[in-house]
Amino acid sequence: MDQETVRTICYLARLEIDQNKSQKIQKDLEIIIELIGSLQSIDTTNVEPLFSPLEMTALKHEDVEKSDNKKEKFLENAAASNEDYFLVPRVVE
Amino acid sequence: MSIQFKSIVELRAMLDKKSISTPELTQESLRLAKKYKELNCFVSMNEEMGPKKASAIELDKKTTSLISGVPLAQKDLFCTEGLRTTCSSKILENFIPPYTATAVKKLEDAGSITIGKTNMDEFAMGSSNETSYFGNVHNPWKKGYVPGGSSGGSAAAVAAGIVPAATGTDTGGSIRQPAAHCGITGLKPTYGRISRWGMIAFASSLDQAGPLARTAEDCAILLNEMAGHDLKDTTSLDFTVPDYLEDLDKPINQLKIGIIKEFNLNELDSEVQSRFQDSKDLYEKLGAEFVEVSLPNISASVPTYYSIAPAECSSNLSRFDGVRFGHRADNTEDLNDLYIKSRSEGFGDEVKRRILIGTYALSAGYYDAYYKKAQQVRRLIKNDFDNVFETVDLLMTPTSPNTAFAFGTKGTQNPVELYLEDLFTISSNLAGLPAISIPHGQINSLPVGLQLIGNFLREDKLLNAAHVFQENSDFHLAQPTMEDFL
């Protein structure tokens, strides 16, 4: 892993790393990747991945309409909002 | 009469005898939290709504549950309506949830009083509670030592006797390891036994809520209330919830316990080995039979976990973007800049590290090598458990390879050093199995934990074995002096 890869991953994750921490992060990532890379020695030919320990179909329930509108409460937690929407910097000129 | 260090059963008896009222009990618990403020185990106190609820419960004679009127603390990862929920992160420093997590709501509906929200590793990522934005939690047994993590605040609050029990969550050992380091009992139930709705997600296929308490009996009382299907969480199991108190006292002379060959216990600290041997002897005396079992892939648990958990975390934490809730950076140029600055200012180093690892493991070209590979190994680990549970009832291991350590002494140079703290606990999360940690002695005045792992939905067997152990020993009754925190 080089600094360029670290920069790409940071951008993908929408994170910025302080310049003075960048070397340390690179080293930490290398150590962790080496750790998880150790799995390569295990033979997993024809083994299906186990994405959830339950492996059961999600339970379904009736789709019943509820009038539980908490719009105001949800908007209260946003740093910027008007009475209907979350506000963000202008996206379209 | 002091309420400090009392169990749920003891506090209920005091309430029943009217030697204390519910409002008095709540106030006393809040007073203890203030008295031991230096422990730093709480992020927020519920000083307004808690006492109000206590007065209402006092008047409501209909509530007959075993936790009615009992003060509890909630890990600050459970959303609580109207009460700040931070996940011990700057990014949620001012977040007031509009709803309450199902697990907490069930406890509150049964009459318990939430007295506060407990400190934790940021977003539950850590094994020492040193990644919290609100500072380290001290171990009640020794100032300047970690309480374990990530549910470190909950474990410390119970060990200090401020509350008889608290909620926690366990993704790789986050209930059991702090329970062990603080000398209390902690139960991680089967994946899906308790609803995850309203829990702030870290790794969705591994996260599970559970109780931390002074005794296995109290854990059974809490599990009775917390367990059950929830329409709002489609991964919560729709199976009948048994009465976990029913078989607590059952003799364990038919019990067959497996010792995992691959863990090489003889390589551990000799004191940890000796406590383990003593507990094995006690179980044998009580009639249990031990056999050595092999789980050939269990040694791969730590690398498997550190591929899967960060991958799920990077996906789950993408919701923190500064738009709808949480910290938003000032002076941003455009929307992308707002995302980047808000997240970079809001998350701490360990959270960033895990998001980056997960992003890398899921990125094009690496997905098969890291993420898919880990999920395949996960199946091999689960198959190993399925095989051994055909011949044994429970598995027994130490909870942690060591006792609590001093702040700043582990993982600072190499993060993997701290990841190995979870060596014995991680595999049950990967396989979705229940496990419990109970105190079984001390080394240099610091508690040591014993872990029992059970088969799918066999919390009853775990609680039975843990309770019988506690009926025949007094390790769970030990109390820290707390004199360094006054």
Q: pLDDT (tens digit, 9 = 90+) per residue, B451-463?
A: 999 999 999 999 9
Phi, psi of B258, deg, nearest 5: -95, 140
Residue A89 CA to its chain's centroid (Å): 22
At B96, the amino acid letter reads I
| Span B422-435, average pLDDT | 97
Which one, of B357, B347, B366, lies nearest residue B308 by Cα? B357
User: Is B328 near chain A, with CB under 8 Å?
Assistant: yes
Distance from CA of A37 to the nearest CA of B (A): 7
Interatomic CA distance for residues B188 and A60, integer angstroms: 26
Phi, psi of A78, deg, nearest 5: -85, 145
Is residue B150 part of the annotated active site? The answer reads yes
Distance from CA of B288 to the nearest CA of A (A): 29
Q: Do A42 and B352 touch (CB under 8 A)?
A: no
Which one, of B432, B330, B448, B327, lies nearest residue B386 by Cα? B432
Please name the residue of chain B whose CA is at the shortest distance from the CA of residue A52.
Answer: B205
Q: Name the residue among B307, B340, B416 with its Cβ closest to that of A31.
A: B416
Q: What is the pLDDT of residues B311-339, one digit of tens each?
A: 999 999 999 999 999 999 999 999 999 99
The helix/strand/coil state of B166 is strand
Phi, psi of B428, deg, nearest 5: -70, -25
Q: Compute the mean pLDDT over every residue in chain B, rounded to the nearest whole number.
A: 96
B321 neighbourhood in chain A, CB within 8 Å: 14
What is the pLDDT at residue B60? Answer: 83
Strand partners, B447: B442
* Count of positions (residues) in chain A: 93
Which one, of B165, B135, B136, B142, lies nearest residue B75 by Cα? B165
Reduced 3-state DSSP string for B208-255: EEEEEECCHHHHHHHHHHHECCECCECCCCCCCCCCCCCCCCCCCCCC
Which one, of B370, B367, B372, B376, lies nearest residue B297 by Cα? B376
Q: Name the residue among A15, A53, A90 with its Cβ closest to that of B343.
A: A15
Domain locations along chain B? 8-255+390-485
This prediction's pTM: 0.97
**CB atoms closer than 10 angstroms to residue A7:** 14
Token pair of B283, please?
């179980």
Cis amide bond preceding B150, omega within 30: yes
Q: Do A49 and B379 touch (CB under 8 A)?
A: yes
Interatomic CA distance for residues B374 and B454, integer angstroms: 23
Interatomic CA distance for residues B10 and B478, integer angstroms: 16
Is residue B410 part of the annotated active site? The answer reads no
Q: Do B356 and A29 touch (CB under 8 A)?
A: yes
Interatomic CA distance for residues B419 and B422, integer angstroms: 6
Mean pLDDT by 10 residues, chain A (93 residues): 91 93 90 94 97 82 82 92 93 83
Reduced 3-state DSSP string for B88-140: CCHHHCCCCCCCCCHHHHHHHHCCCEEEEEECCCHHHCCCCCCCCCCCCCCEC
Range name among B54-63, B67-76, B279-288, B435-444 with the lowest pLDDT average: B54-63
Which of B188, B324, B342 to mutate against chain A (most A CBs within 10 Å)? B324
Q: For chain A, what is the largest distance between any 2 Cα atoms, rounded to a whole number of angstroms?
A: 57
CATH code for A1-40? 1.10.20
What is the pLDDT at residue B64? Answer: 80
Q: Name the residue among B297, B347, B352 with its Cβ closest to that of A42.
A: B297
Class of domain B8-255+390-485: alpha beta
| Span B471-482, average pLDDT | 98
Q: What is the pLDDT of residues B290-310, one digit of tens each?
A: 999 999 999 999 999 999 999
Is residue B174 part of the annotated active site? The answer reads yes
Confidence at B415, pLDDT banded by 50, 70, 90: confident
What is the pLDDT at residue A70? Answer: 84
Q: Using an 8 Å Cβ cutoff, are B73 and B157 in contact?
A: yes
Interatomic CA distance for residues A18 and A25, integer angstroms: 10
Strand partners, B452: B396, B436
Interatomic CA distance for residues B85 and B71, integer angstroms: 18
